[in-house]
Chains A and B, each alone.
Chain A
Amino acid sequence: MKTIYMDNNATTQVDPAVFEEMKPFFTELYGNPSSMHRFGGQVGVRLKEARARVAALLNCEPDEIIFTSCGSESDNTAIRSALNAQPDKRHIVTTRVEHPAILSLCKYLEKKDGYEVTYLGTDENGRLDIQEIKDAIRPDTAIVSIMWANNETGNIYPIEEIAAIAKERGVVFHTDAVQAVGKIPIDLKTTPIDMLSLSGHKLHAPKGVGALFVRKRLPFRPFLIGGHQERSRRAGTENTTGIIALGKACELAIQHMDEENTAVRALRDTLETGLLAAIPDSILNGDRDNRLPNTSNISFGYVEGEAILLMMDQLGICASSGSACTSGSLEPSHVLRAMGVPFTFAHGSIRFSLSRFNTAQDVDYVLETLPPIIKNLRKLSPFSAQKSAPACTKSFSE
């Protein structure tokens, strides 16, 4: 059975060109870049090149890139660095729709270390209120951390505008750009961002490599302490294969940026319009106008997401869901809840996230097979638009 992979916000296929590029570093080029011999030194030269490629995608200086092991490490490093560099500031501003890499860390800092955190809410389309951000910043705010693009809905936040506000108020600004990098243009020369996180496996590099951009002269406190790698900003012998791969993936991302925003977008739009038209009681979650070109989050009323996913899985289609049952928790996704998506729809949300490796045939196949799946599951369901949700005692308190 063919695999139709539409779960690229979870992880992506390693581009074959990326794989080719990294291969020699597993075999003949296994030296340690810190070594004094030329055998190791030649690897160091290639790492430098990779760093420059990452910097080129973001339009920043190579020295401003610190390689890490993943997006989560970049996020953790950024927040903790800002807090440790400004010990007298005890307040963090972030949003309710961040990835757990930020959200769980903030909850932890709040609970264990007594920091105060402001979690900004969103409107029903998942949009932030700029005025609220302005109001949330206080003299003791150590960092504002707001994601560039949301992994579940694909919503893009006005990071240029938010970064300018933070700069004006003299507050460190970090953005989790894990979902944005490679999908939309980013220019760190013109956007006053202090720190930015990215993760290799979301842009066709392998898992286990990420990067953190730290603007020159921003006070920085390392998270991993040890050797002098990454100019003592992140200890540990470099993941050479991963870094080489990330460099190549960034180079390819520059080449494919237009394609992401034209061809991939067109596929996504065909899929989205087709599904919304073919399936009654389906709604789009998120900000229709300000979204990643590859993401579509659709809720199918009166059916549950896990059941839909498993039915699709039978046909080789991979996607994900914000339903309670798939999140491993019992509540539907925190992003959809922050948006106030009604329960009738929140449990039946499916996220399709495409990439340049998807084809028009993939989209046709989903358009053909998904409507009957929803129809069948609705036959099983005691609910429908006519016999709607019974009154419920339950209100998610948050």
Chain B
Amino acid sequence: MWEYTDRVKDHFLNPRNVGTLDDADGVGEVGSLACGDALTLYIKVKDGIVTDAKFQTFGCASAIASSSALTEILIGKTVEEAEALTNKDIAEYLGGLPREKMHCSVMGQEALEQALKNMRGEAPSKMEHSHEGTLICECFGVFDEEILRAIKENDLKTVEDITNFTKAGGGCGKCIDDLERLLTEARGEGVCPAPSSEPSFPAQGMTNIERMHLIESVIDDEVRPMLQADGGDIRLMDIDRETVMVKFIGMCSNCPSSHLTLQNVVEAKLREKVDPNIVVREG
């Protein structure tokens, strides 16, 4: 028996805003019968404010409660505020969910994103995965992007957590090794791609060694020639995860604006060519 909070029970037994909206501005459909839960969210927006929200949910008590909570949170919010909502807001609103049931709140977040995209005319109501993503868990149709995002946003530390939040790994278990890999990747390097369709960055998925080589070659091929043109030079001192330590030589070393060079040239190039989270320090 799950330990549900009184709020979860209340929203399950007396769900708010059940139904459909014929004149919805955005519709988001996620999940499926096969997966054991599915949610269709309808939103109505006027002058940048969510004026109404309705839902239909197939799923367990916490899935129904999460959907109900989501609509309650949404109504009255500005579109910007709605865009910023995450699964954590839903779980918090309900006074918490059992860890194994966190995927219900993630489903709410996904439906909301889909509905907002649908409202902006960027997507059909039904969630389809961008083709950049790789299907990791066949049993539950979960893509790497979703997993990496869940790891990042919820600070997940174990494969079990990934399953609790995304369901990936909860079926035949053959994707567990991949989940393990994604976890090390995401946590080890502290980087996660931005959600869904945005293009991933070049160093994504690289091993540490590959990444170091990439940083080295970007400095050699792109940064150094620029500095040399100004009579200076740069030396790569150390790489510690996202922090890259460099030393300026020649002209640049006494240049009062070297910190600008550091940011505008070196950091910008590395962020563009390697990883958007890189920080460059002089040392």
Closest to A393 in B: B141
Closest to B67 in A: A380
B174 adjacent to chain A (CB < 8 Å):
yes
CB contact under 8 A between A314 and B34, given known A307-B64, A330-B171, A393-B138: no
Closest to B101 in A: A325
B139 & A310 in contact (Cβ 8 Å cutoff):
no
Provide the residues of chain B in CB contact with A390, threshold 8 Å.
Answer: 29, 32-33, 38, 126
A382 & B40 in contact (Cβ 8 Å cutoff):
yes
Interface string of B224-252 (1 = CB under 8 A from A): 00000000000000000000000000000
Spot the interface stretch: A55-63, A95-103, A147-155, A298-306: A298-306
B126-142 at interface with A (beta carbon < 8 Å)? 126, 135, 138-141
A306-331 at interface with B (beta carbon < 8 Å)? 306-307, 310-311, 314, 323-326, 328-331
Q: What's the minimum C-beta distance from B64 to chain A, rounded to whole angstroms? A: 6
B87 adjacent to chain A (CB < 8 Å):
no
Provide the residues of chain A in CB contact with B12, threshold 8 Å.
Answer: 307, 310
A394 & B39 in contact (Cβ 8 Å cutoff):
no
Complexed CA–CA distance, A229 and B12 (Å):
52
Q: What's the minimum C-beta distance from B51 to chain A, rounded to whole angstroms? A: 22
CB contact under 8 A between A383 and B33, given known A325-B59, A330-B163, A395-B138: yes
CB contact under 8 A between A397 and B171, given known A380-B15, A381-B56, A392-B34: yes
Provide the residues of chain B in CB contact with A332, threshold 8 Å.
Answer: 36
Complexed CA–CA distance, A379 and B138 (Å):
30
Of the candidates A380, A388, A392, the one whose C-beta lies within 8 Å of that of B35 is: A392
A331 & B32 in contact (Cβ 8 Å cutoff):
no
Provide the residues of chain A in CB contact with B33, threshold 8 Å.
Answer: 302, 343-344, 347, 383, 388-390, 392
CB contact under 8 A between A394 and B35, given known A304-B63, A307-B12, A330-B140: yes
Q: How big is the A interface, by class?
A: 35 or more
A101-146 at interface with B (beta carbon < 8 Å)? none
Q: How many A-B residue pairs have CB under 8 A?
A: 105
Complexed CA–CA distance, A304 and B60 (Å):
6
B167 adjacent to chain A (CB < 8 Å):
yes
A307 & B60 in contact (Cβ 8 Å cutoff):
yes
Q: What's the minimum C-beta distance from A195 to chain B, rounded to whole angstroms? A: 30
B172 adjacent to chain A (CB < 8 Å):
yes
A289 adjacent to chain B (CB < 8 Å):
no
A382 & B36 in contact (Cβ 8 Å cutoff):
no
Q: What's the minimum C-beta distance from A331 to chain B, rounded to whole angstroms? A: 5
A26 adjacent to chain B (CB < 8 Å):
no
Q: Interface centre among B29, B33, B60, B64, by most A CB within 10 Å?
A: B33
Of the candidates B38, B40, B56, B170, the one whose C-beta lies within 8 Å of that of A331 is: B170
B61 adjacent to chain A (CB < 8 Å):
yes
The binding surface of chain B is classed by DSSP as: mixed
Provide the residues of chain A in CB contact with B61, threshold 8 Å.
Answer: 306-307, 310
Provide the residues of chain B in CB contact with A306, threshold 8 Å.
Answer: 2, 60-61
Provide the residues of chain B in CB contact with A344, threshold 8 Å.
Answer: 33
Of the candidates B39, B139, B163, B167, the one whose C-beta lies within 8 Å of that of A382 is: B39
Q: What's the minimum C-beta distance from B163 to chain A, rounded to whole angstroms? A: 7
Provide the residues of chain A in CB contact with B64, threshold 8 Å.
Answer: 307, 380
A398 adjacent to chain B (CB < 8 Å):
yes
Complexed CA–CA distance, A302 and B34 (Å):
10
B255 adjacent to chain A (CB < 8 Å):
no
A394 & B32 in contact (Cβ 8 Å cutoff):
yes
Closest to A303 in B: B58
Closest to A328 in B: B100
Complexed CA–CA distance, A392 and B36 (Å):
11
Closest to B169 in A: A330
B56 & A343 in contact (Cβ 8 Å cutoff):
no
Complexed CA–CA distance, A396 and B64 (Å):
24
Closest to B104 in A: A325
Of the candidates B29, B60, B139, the one whose C-beta lies within 8 Å of that of A394 is: B139
B36 & A380 in contact (Cβ 8 Å cutoff):
no
CB contact under 8 A between A379 and B18, given known A307-B59, A331-B170: yes
Q: What's the minimum C-beta distance from B141 to chain A, rounded to whole angstroms? A: 4
Closest to B135 in A: A393
A382 & B38 in contact (Cβ 8 Å cutoff):
yes
Provide the residues of chain A in CB contact with B59, threshold 8 Å.
Answer: 304, 307, 325
B36 & A304 in contact (Cβ 8 Å cutoff):
yes
B47-74 at interface with A (beta carbon < 8 Å)? 56-61, 63-64
Q: Closest 7 CB pairs between A and B?
A: A330-B170, A325-B60, A306-B60, A382-B56, A389-B33, A393-B141, A392-B34
B residues with a Cβ closer than 8 A to A are 2, 12-13, 15, 18, 29, 32-40, 56-61, 63-64, 100-101, 126, 135, 138-141, 163, 167, 170-172, 174
A residues with a Cβ closer than 8 A to B are 302-307, 310-311, 314, 323-326, 328-332, 343-344, 347, 379-383, 388-390, 392-398
Can you show 6 pairs from A to B with CB atoms below 8 A apart? A306-B2, A324-B36, A330-B171, A381-B56, A382-B39, A397-B171
